[in-house]
Structures are given as structure tokens and as C-alpha cells.
Amino acid sequence: MVAGLAVRDDGEEIVLVDSTGREVRVPTMDIEEASRVPISPIPAGLADLLGDDGLLNLLACLRRGTVSVVR
């Protein structure tokens, strides 16, 4: 069994990104069953852990598509 976020499907293979960020390629002819799971890969309580500023920074990174690290 393979689980991940489907990022590409060209009809011959489906490319998933697993929870570690690794791409997994699965030939469509090898898939016996596929299903969607209504569970978010984002850990429960993340917004509380990040706080208001951290959550706003996360959303800004997602909108830009980049991550900046400031120390």
C-alpha cells in the first residue's frame, strides 16, 4: 500500500508525494484500488502550536511557494 498526495497522473503512472516529501511513482497498471482519505496530512493542533504570527508566516510561504529562514 502507498499513501500520499497525488501530484501528477499522466495515464501511465501516478506520482504521489509521501509524508516525508519523497516522490513515489506508481504505474497505473499496478493499482488495484485507489481511494481518497478525508484526513489532512497537517498535524492536529498545528495552528495552536504556531500561534498567530507563525500561522500567518506559514500562509505567506504557501502563497509564495517558497520558504525563507531568518535566524
pLDDT of residue 68: 53
- Do 35 and 54 lie in one domain? The reply is no
Per the structure, the complete domain to which residue 50 belongs is given by 43-71
Pick the residue with more confidence: 4 or 66?
4
- Do 48 and 68 lie in one domain? The reply is yes
Per-residue model confidence as pLDDT tens digits over 59-68: 887 787 655 5
Per-residue model confidence as pLDDT tens digits over 14-48: 998 887 888 999 999 998 988 887 777 677 888 88
CA dist list (Å): 42 to 24, 26, 56, 66: 19, 23, 16, 18
pLDDT of residue 69: 54
Number of domains making up the chain:
2
What pTM was estimated for this model as a whole? Answer: 0.56
State the Cα angle at 22 between 52 and 3, rounded to 5°: 85
- Do 15 and 34 lie in one domain? The reply is yes
